[in-house]
Each structure stands twice: as structure tokens, then as C-alpha cells.
């Protein structure tokens, strides 16, 4: 990625990792005038990465469906999913 950040024909670099070890690499690519996009899952995501990149793609939202909220009765039994209106 560092080599490509020095290539004048490349405008955007995409990293598929949220590991904090890549923060210096992201910063250097940005200093070289490149847009840096990162796609990562939240598990193991370094908290600085979404703040220092040009575009962050949360892979959790793409690969994992959110569970529907369910209401509980007075006895604690689950009822049908609650629909937002």
C-alpha cells in the first residue's frame, strides 16, 4: 500500500482491515495526497481509524442483519416483533 501511495496514477487506496498497526501507513498515504478508504468489522477495529480515513465502511452493517426488537409480556415470554410506526 505504501508503494501505491507514491504512484501518481492512483487516487484512492482501499484497506480491508481495522487493525491499529495500519494507522501509520494510513497517515503516510494521506500525507502523500491519497484518499484512504477502510472497510472493516467492528470487532477488533482500532478507534482511531474511522476518524483518520476519508471513507469508512462498516462491514457489520453489510454482513450482519440486526435482530428485530421483541416485546416481552408481563410473564417474560417473548411476543411478536415490535414494528416501528
DSSP code at position 35: E
Nearest to 22 by CA among 49, 57, 43: 49
Sorted by where each starts, the structural domains of the chain and their CATH numbers stand as 2-81 (3.40.50.1010)
Predicted TM-score (pTM) of this structure: 0.73
Q: What is the pLDDT of residues 16-75, one digit of tens each?
A: 999 999 999 999 999 999 999 999 999 999 999 999 999 999 999 999 877 655 555 556
Cα of first residue to Cα of last residue in the chain, in angstroms, is 47
H helix runs in 21-63, sequence order: 23-31, 49-52, 59-63
Amino acid at each position: 500500500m505504501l508503494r501505491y501511495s507514491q504512484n501518481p496514477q492512483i487516487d484512492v487506496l482501499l484497506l480491508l482491515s481495522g487493525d491499529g498497526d495500519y494507522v501509520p501507513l494510513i497517515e503516510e498515504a494521506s500525507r502523500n495526497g491519497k484518499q484512504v478508504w477502510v472497510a472493516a468489522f467492528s470487532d477488533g477495529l482500532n478507534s482511531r481509524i474511522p476518524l483518520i480515513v476519508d471513507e469508512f465502511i462498516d462491514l457489520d452493517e453489510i454482513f450482519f442483519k440486526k435482530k428485530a426488537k421483541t416485546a416481552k409480556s408481563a410473564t417474560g415470554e417473548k411476543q411478536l416483533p415490535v414494528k416501528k410506526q
